[in-house]
Amino acid sequence: MLALEIQNNLSKFPHCLLLTRVGNFYESYFEQAIEISRILNIKLTSRRWGGGRVPMCGFPLLHMDKHLKVMVQQHKRFVAVCEEFPKYTSLGAREFERRVVRVITPGTLIDESFLNQYENNYLLAVSVPEGDSAKNPTLGLAWIDVSTGEFYSKRSSHESVCDDIARIGPREILLDKIMETQTSHPTMKVVTEESSVVSFVVPSHSVDGIDNLSAQSPPSTNQSQSSSNAYNPETANVSDEIVTAQDGSPATPFLYTPEETYAIDLLTTYLRANLLEHMPILSQPNREDTESRMQIDSHTIKALEIRENMREGGVRGSLMSSVKRTITSSGTRLLARWLCSPSTSIQEINARQSLVAFFHSRPHFRADLLVFLAKAEDASRIVQKFLLGKGDPSDMLALTATVDIWSGIQQRVNQEREMEYLERRSFSASEWVSLDTLMNRMVNLEDLAQRISLAVERPVSPQYDELAEDADLESDENSGTLRAEWRYGRVKFGIKIKPEFSKTLLELNNTLRDLWEQKAKMEERLQLKYDAPSLTLRSSPGQGMHIHLAKAKRDQKKIAADLDFVSISETGTTRSYFFQDWAQLGQKIFTTSNAIATSEKEAFEMLRQEVNLRAPSLRRNARVVDELDVTLAFSQLATDMNLVRPSIQEDTTYNVINGRHPTVELGLLTSGRVFTPNTVALTPSSHFHVITGPNMAGKSTLLRQTALVVILAQSGSFVPADAAALGIVDKLFSRVGAKDDLFHNHSTFMVEMLETAEILRRATPRSLVIMDEVGRGTTVKDGIALAFATIHHLVSVNRCRTLFATHFHELSEMLGYKDGAPSGQGVFENVAFYCTTVDEMESGTFSYSYRLRPGVNRDSHGLKVAQLAGMPPLAMAVAKNVLTALKSDTTDDAKELASIGRRLTGSPSEIYLT
């Protein structure tokens, strides 16, 4: 039977590693056993199979999560989990049915212990239109975190899908099966460039479990955007809007584009195929409105190290690690989303910043709220576990505790308002508007928490058990009662439903108590009547209800002479008997105990259904608390790093006085050094700054901090500066740093040009662009030509706010810069020139000023950097001589250059004398 089940499951799930539960182990067979034993570094053995032997390996149940992490997360393999379920034949014999209950992939993790609690685990579906992609560039995206239920959709394009993928950070990407062979398709190229696992799905063209969505055929080039299913901007749901109250329904109905509907179909089809018995009913996806979010391209997310450090690949050294002050894991996930997708809504930004300012001015209140948050559980993931059919009683108690914490937060907010009203003469209700708006979105769930707390006892530690009966009879020596146990999934729990939960349970527990008292009296009576102090009444699967004598030689004399006792087993010191009166009483106890276990399980299912029905409200409250956590964190950050509230405007101003790079500043402070701030003022009359200066003098840091200030401000945070006035940025681009992309046969220069070309195609007048060393990867003349062409396009076509750092000081002359002349007097009226410099010391040493000033620096001081790097003295001497000769001879004639080379070639002593 087992062999047949395994072979059937292997044929049904050929793309998966199959793990089959057998008792207390998960086992694998055939060729898969060889692979799994190698991946997990466990022993490979064999077993008899059809007259021969086949490879086999296995591991205990308790090691499941550890090994899943290796197979799924590290080796990107899919794992089909086959569980065993008991069933009984007509003769009462117990057999097992084994079936695959779930397929685990990188994008469908639910509650695995290795799931990162501080990051979302997104599964992303991308729908690609049929036909010519140039004629219909619109794509549909749908993505979900199965562990939290967060579900989103949006329109995208071939041009921006790479940015969307970088921002979302999916663990797995889904495409239509027809794309598997279309390796040259532009979307296919983009998707395969990412590190995510790519899976291919045959769409079902139906979206089961989602209301108000009609299935669509694959979007094609002749489909009109004016279709009745097209997106209506008036009904858009912006998921991160802090000022918009959401109703308590699972989803607000609105229309999707055909491309989005198709992506949702791909996603739900894949979920059904893999979650199987754990497939939840999905709510409507929140439609992400591109217009309301700052678009950050994929290069910029990586170059600015928003989520992770480029060099080391970890979180340390990233913007996220520098500004994180969140307490909850779900709040940390929301913070990451805000930083990677800042708002462009002034109303939303001001609402967030008002909350930050509110908490910033009330440190005692902030500290009290943080105490509450520190005790809160990850409600989003707990609720999702119940919706997936995996929640257990301990999760229910954790949810109850969290609801109590939410009530405590509300009470503390009300208390603070009352105290301020009584103690402050100048009480201002307007200061409380943002917090009141946020807290008014919370739903009162105290009735649910009370019902659960009155029903569920604190659970005993769960144990994995190889038996699978619905109830076992066990003795509880502490309470003196006979207890039944029931299992949820593969975990066995003790009684956790209080008898008072229902009239039936109360009656059953009273009956069980009476039966137990009868058992105790019977045991005592038999001990006295037969002079057998070691006599006890017991039950076991092998012997049923029986009387046990621990000291048989001493106590068996009278019992052995009584025909009512039938001997059933004996050892050297013990003896067991069948006794009809105990068999009848024990059967009543077992039946009652079994009925209690069944009633408790039914009661728990009833509570679980109540939790599922209240899931929208629970999620809504969890989201409110997440937003509260992030804004509290921003206020703590403002205190820790001396940040200031920026003024957000509709125009294209960028005026930051003494701005600082938050990550670099933090790094310097830890080493006892001080960051040098700089002022950047981009105005309509001077929105393009050319920045020159030596290497190591802080140009790249200045560029990055300019972008990070915008990200923080539009995320709702205060910013590292003395003062800041910022116009909304719709798109943020960077061209800083580059390296070879050998996998795609791209040189450093090619990577640089690809990034530059993308910026020139996509930047708008409301965008912010930072560019560093455009043209450096080729010859000087080619580089200057490309750099000037880039400036010309950005100024005359894109007309966006730009910081352009370069070592080509010749560009300043081409742009008409004259020493001492004011900005805006050159070729372009709105181009200004700034530089950094090196301070020379009388001792011959030097230092970097890091301070930006108006003007052009025509000396890159590259030799000073080489000297700091430890270049050998001889090499430095040759370099100095060559530089002096090149400066004195402006010709680039080949003969003249050869003459300089011969003149500077000689012995070390001659070189030093030159």
DSSP conformation letters of 164-176: HHHHH--SEEEEE
What would the DSSP string read from start to end of 377-412?
Answer: --HHHHHHHHHTT---HHHHHHHHHHHHHHHHHHHH
The answer on pLDDT for 157 being more than 50 is yes
What distances in angstroms separate CA 259 from CA 134, 202, 225, 656, one per listed residue?
Answer: 15, 16, 10, 41
Q: Name the 3-class secondary structure at 870.
A: coil
122-299 against 346-445+616-640: fold identical: no
Radius of gyration over alpha carbons of the chain, in Å?
A: 36
pLDDT of residue 455: 87
Give the CATH H-level superfamily of domain 2-104: DNA repair protein MutS, domain I (3.40.1170.10)
Q: Average pLDDT of 275-280? A: 90
642-868 in CATH: which number? 3.40.50.300
What distances in angstroms separate CA 246 from CA 241, 344, 623, 862, one per listed residue?
Answer: 10, 20, 11, 58
Task: Categorize the per-residue pLDDT at 500 as very low, low, confident or very high, splitting at 50, 70 and 90.
Answer: confident
Neighbouring residues of 786: CB distance < 8 A, sequence distance ≥ 6? 753, 756, 774, 775, 778
pTM here is 0.84
User: Which residue type is seen at 467?
Assistant: L
Signed CA dihedral, 699, 700, 706, 712: sign only: negative
Q: Average pLDDT of 787-805? A: 92
End-to-end alpha carbon distance in the chain: 92
Q: Name the 3-class secondary structure at 910.
A: helix
State the average pLDDT for the chain. 83
φ, ψ for residue 659 (rounded to 5)? -75, 155
pLDDT digits (tens, 9 = 90+) for 614-624: 999 999 999 99
pLDDT of residue 575: 93
Cα separation, 58 vs 754, in Å, equals 50
pLDDT digits (tens, 9 = 90+) for 674-698: 899 999 999 888 899 999 888 777 8
pLDDT digits (tens, 9 = 90+) for 212-248: 443 333 444 333 333 333 333 333 343 444 433 333 3
User: Which residue type is seen at 814?
Assistant: M
pLDDT of residue 220: 43
List the one residue out of 591, 554, 601 whose CA is nearest residue 574. 554
List the one residue out of 384, 456, 444 whose CA is nearest residue 612. 384
Q: Average pLDDT of 337-348? A: 94
Neighbouring residues of 789: CB distance < 8 A, sequence distance ≥ 6? none
Domain range list for the chain: 2-104, 122-299, 346-445+616-640, 463-611, 642-868, 873-913
Query: Domain 346-445+616-640, what fold?
Result: MutS, DNA mismatch repair protein; Chain A, domain 3 (1.10.1420)
pLDDT digits (tens, 9 = 90+) for 245-266: 333 333 334 578 889 999 999 9
Task: Categorize the per-residue pLDDT at 472 as very low, low, confident or very high, splitting at 50, 70 and 90.
Answer: very low
Query: Domain 122-299, what fold?
Result: Nucleotidyltransferase; domain 5 (3.30.420)
Q: Average pLDDT of 541-552? A: 87
How far from chain centre, in Å, is Cα 293?
19
Cα separation, 144 vs 125, in Å, equals 9
Q: Average pLDDT of 741-760? A: 73
φ, ψ for residue 56 (rounded to 5)? -155, 145
What distances in angstroms separate CA 128 from CA 145, 157, 262, 316, 754, one per listed residue?
Answer: 22, 9, 9, 36, 23
The residue that leads in pLDDT, 78 or 52, is 78
pLDDT of residue 671: 85
pLDDT of residue 840: 67
Neighbouring residues of 703: CB distance < 8 A, sequence distance ≥ 6? 691, 734, 736, 770, 771, 772, 803, 805
Task: Categorize the per-residue pLDDT at 382 as very low, low, confident or very high, splitting at 50, 70 and 90.
Answer: very high
95 exposure class (CB count in 10 Å sphere: 0-12, 13-18, 19+): exposed
Share of the chain above pLDDT 70, in %: 82
pLDDT of residue 19: 95
If one counts every other C-beta atom within 10 angstroms of the C-beta of residue 69, the result is 16
Share of the chain above pLDDT 90, in %: 48
Q: Average pLDDT of 422-449? A: 88
Q: 100: part of which helix (H) or strand (E)?
A: strand 94-104
Q: Average pLDDT of 270-286? A: 90
pLDDT of residue 184: 79
463-611 in CATH: which number? 1.10.1420.10
User: Which residue type is seen at 55?
Assistant: P
